[in-house]
Amino acid sequence: MRFATLALAALLLAACVPRPAHAASGDASYIGEVFMMATSFCPTGSVEANGATVAAASNPSLYALLGTTYGGTSTNFKLPNIKPQGSSALAAEVGGGSGGAMGATSIIWFRKGLRIHDNPALLAAAQGADHLCPLFILDPWFLQPDKIGVNRVQFLLESLADLDASFRARGSRLLVLRGKPQEVLPPVFKEWGVTRLCFESDTEPYAKQRDAAVRQLAEAAGVEVHSSVSHTLYDPQLLLARNGGKPPLTMQAFTKLADAVGPPPAPAADPPEKLPPLAPQAASLDAAASGVPSLADIGYPPAGTTPFKGGETAALARMADYLSDKDWVCAFEKPKGNPALFLRPATTVLSPYLKFGCLSPRLFHAKLQQIYSERSGKHTQPPVSLRGQLLWREFFTLCGSAVPNFDRMEGNPICRQIPWADDPARIQAWEESRTGYPWIDAIMAQLRRQGWMHHLARHSVACFLTRGDLWCSWEAGQAVFDKYLIDADWSLNAANWQWLSASAFFSQYFRVYSPISFGKQYDKNGDYIRHFLPALKDMPAKYIYEPWTAPLSVQQAAGCIIGKDYPRPIVDHAVVHKENMAKMKAAYDAGKAAAGAAAGAGGAAAGSAAAAAAGGDGASSSGSKAGAKPAKRARKS
């Protein structure tokens, strides 16, 4: 029997408090969910989502979940009012579908979530299915060599090969088709006799639009669609609703929100040892045309240069490796890591596995909590702890899902409008390790070669490109990172670039990373630079962060003439970072003036450009006493 047909649905809100055996997960933190029923009544333990007002005391668990998101007071709350979409057209299509007694054929459609552990969409697809077709579609959108580099694509193909091996061990295999999903899927639905399509929900703009289109096509073909949240610890939509429809904009506000919602769900159960076979029509596909391709097959160079290997197997091994040192796990503090370590990085390098979903954040979270609990509270805390890093990911994913134009300055309501210069030559020099600052150029070399750099190294180069030195738009840097990083994640990349350029989240633009002294603190001898910039490998440590200051005789002895074998500095940091600070100050002031003008105009948007141009401190009524020194701020001990 089919479930959740839209046509008959009376939409209900499940108010069931900890269900004893929640969908094979044994999850003690489960509170409830909104779901549709193909009936006109609600099952036991649930209430109809009809907008009714409920006393908080009568259902504290549901109140904890919903709060007054849909209205109410401190003593009562309102349920969402979700109307059945009773459409006879849908009813007819569902009735005419190929489901019913014929036997169920499911597709588990992989996009991210390239794993079999903690994969609720896979479990939903396998549930009661006679045939299960594991499918990945190579979307040309993600295979543009000029925009997406070989390392991340290699990582993806390795992840697919690993997934394929997991399915083969369970009597199946992964089918890899090529094309736009909106075009590939409809004929597949028909030819394979598909009755159910399951996938992991994805909050990126491209994915949202793609999935909405596919959902429509599936429903038109009588295919039941099931999506589940498993890319993040929390459901971003739920968090957003709990926060009144607006994303939190500080980590503290986010952490509070997450705490109020409670612990995230536990990982789902592992899939059975034996999975249903492919649909006959799928099984008869040519193996070469429906298997994992090589890089060359899809228009890429034959091999990448990253040392990091994709796949669930590698992800679990890497997690186990880093988690085996429990002292290290409990003492982890992000800002204290050494960005210059490259043989064994100072952080876990689990980010690419989380990006592709080779590793479940819920599994990683559960493992961390297990280790923390063994230490009875003796461990670091968010935002700097290892668990805190997962929360940053949640925070930025939530912002990315809720802020319009999150990957751009224009039309992005949380992004400061800053008049960056358009200077392709500077951007290219930065991308290609030709800034003349070895610390910066080495980091960019590591990016191009490995597809990964330490977090603080990313900060250094991002600050340098934008507000620190080159005064180029963060969007340009974002595109370069998106091209080369194996862990490039749309939301996280946009959020971090806004952070580092002091465009959003972070405002202390007077804190500028020095391209000379920052790296020196960690790596006095410059081993990191020598490794990634061979031209400088014999430069004495005294000069390696500022080789242009080395006497010519030293340059000759090192076999590296500045201006010939390695470039001169593209800008003078000591000069430009001060100039840029002043430009930031002006941009901030203009933004404040524009906001003040907009508010003064009764919310009308008109006139903001004029206000920005005026640039004066008309909006400032502070009248601060000149010369009066502010009270010294007590340092925290």
Show binding-site residues for FAD: 347-351, 389-396, 487-489
Candidates 80, 434, 588, 598; binder of DNA (CB under 7 A) is: 588
Candidates 97, 383, 526, 547; binder of DNA (CB under 7 A) is: 383
Residue closer to DNA (CB basis): 44 or 633? 633
**At closest approach, how far in Å is the CB of 588 from DNA?**
5
Using the rule CB under 7 A, is 603 a contact of DNA?
A: no
Complete edge-to-edge strand list for the sheet that includes strand 34-37: 34-37, 10-14, 46-48
C-beta separation of 224 from 197 below 8 A: yes
Which phi and psi (to 5°) does residue 386 adopt?
-60, -45
Using the rule CB under 7 A, is 455 a contact of DNA?
A: yes
Candidates 12, 315, 456, 539; binder of DNA (CB under 7 A) is: 456
Indicate the SS3 state at residue 393: helix
C-beta separation of 120 from 268 below 8 A: yes
User: Which burial class, exposed, middle or buried, applies to 356 when counting CB atoms under 10 A from its CB (0-12, 13-18, 19+)?
Assistant: buried
Using the rule CB under 7 A, is 17 a contact of DNA?
A: no
Using the rule CB under 7 A, is 92 a contact of DNA?
A: no
Q: Hunting for tokens 């096509």 — which residue is that? A: 217
Q: Hunting for tokens 């429903």 — which residue is that? A: 219
**At closest approach, how far in Å is the CB of 453 from DNA?**
14
Name which of 260, 213, 197, 268 is nearest 26 in CA terms.
Answer: 268
**The one segment of 7-15, 205-213, 270-278, 505-513 that binds DNA by CB under 7 A:** 505-513
* Helical segments of 100-149, H only: 120-126
Residue closer to DNA (CB basis): 110 or 452? 452
Under DSSP, the state recorded for 472 is B
Using the rule CB under 7 A, is 599 a contact of DNA?
A: no
Candidates 22, 459, 483, 530; binder of DNA (CB under 7 A) is: 459
Residue closer to DNA (CB basis): 147 or 585? 585
Using the rule CB under 7 A, is 548 a contact of DNA?
A: no
Using the rule CB under 7 A, is 511 a contact of DNA?
A: yes
Residue closer to DNA (CB basis): 42 or 465? 465
Name which of 580, 439, 457 is nearest 509 in CA terms.
Answer: 580
Candidates 356, 372, 452, 509; binder of DNA (CB under 7 A) is: 509
C-beta separation of 337 from 346 below 8 A: yes
**At closest approach, how far in Å is the CB of 525 from DNA?**
15
Which phi and psi (to 5°) does residue 159 adopt?
-65, -40
What number of chain residues touch DNA (CB under 7 A)? Answer: 41
Tokens standing for residue 174:
């992964």
Name which of 316, 310, 292, 296 is nearest 452 in CA terms.
Answer: 310
Candidates 167, 474, 481, 518; binder of DNA (CB under 7 A) is: 518
Candidates 524, 542, 564, 585; binder of DNA (CB under 7 A) is: 585
Using the rule CB under 7 A, is 507 a contact of DNA?
A: yes
What are the angstrom distances between the C-alpha of 166 and each of 128, 170, 446? 20, 7, 32
Using the rule CB under 7 A, is 330 a contact of DNA?
A: no
Candidates 24, 92, 212, 253; binder of DNA (CB under 7 A) is: 253
Structural element, H or E, at residue 599: helix 573-600
**The one segment of 115-123, 126-134, 370-378, 381-389 that binds DNA by CB under 7 A:** 381-389
Using the rule CB under 7 A, is 384 a contact of DNA?
A: yes
C-beta separation of 608 from 597 below 8 A: yes
Binding to DNA, residues 232-251 (CB under 7 A): 249-251
Binding residue positions:
347-351, 389-396, 487-489
C-beta separation of 301 from 343 below 8 A: no
- d(C-alpha 13, C-alpha 81), whole Å: 9
Residue closer to DNA (CB basis): 111 or 577? 577
Using the rule CB under 7 A, is 514 a contact of DNA?
A: yes
Using the rule CB under 7 A, is 517 a contact of DNA?
A: yes
**At closest approach, how far in Å is the CB of 189 from DNA?**
42
- d(C-alpha 499, C-alpha 491), whole Å: 12
Candidates 52, 510, 599, 615; binder of DNA (CB under 7 A) is: 510
Using the rule CB under 7 A, is 328 a contact of DNA?
A: no
- d(C-alpha 48, C-alpha 37), whole Å: 10
Name which of 146, 147, 142, 141 is nearest 159 in CA terms.
Answer: 142
Candidates 334, 367, 449, 583; binder of DNA (CB under 7 A) is: 334
Using the rule CB under 7 A, is 592 a contact of DNA?
A: yes
- d(C-alpha 620, C-alpha 447), whole Å: 43
Name which of 465, 460, 479 is nearest 430 in CA terms.
Answer: 465
366 Cβ neighbours under 8 A, 6+ residues apart: 266, 267
Residue closer to DNA (CB basis): 88 or 624? 624
**The one segment of 9-17, 218-226, 510-518, 558-566 that binds DNA by CB under 7 A:** 510-518
Q: What does the binding site for DNA look like in residue numbers (CB under 7 A)?
A: 249-253, 334-335, 383-384, 388-389, 392, 455-456, 459, 499, 506-514, 516-518, 521, 581, 585, 588, 591-592, 630-636
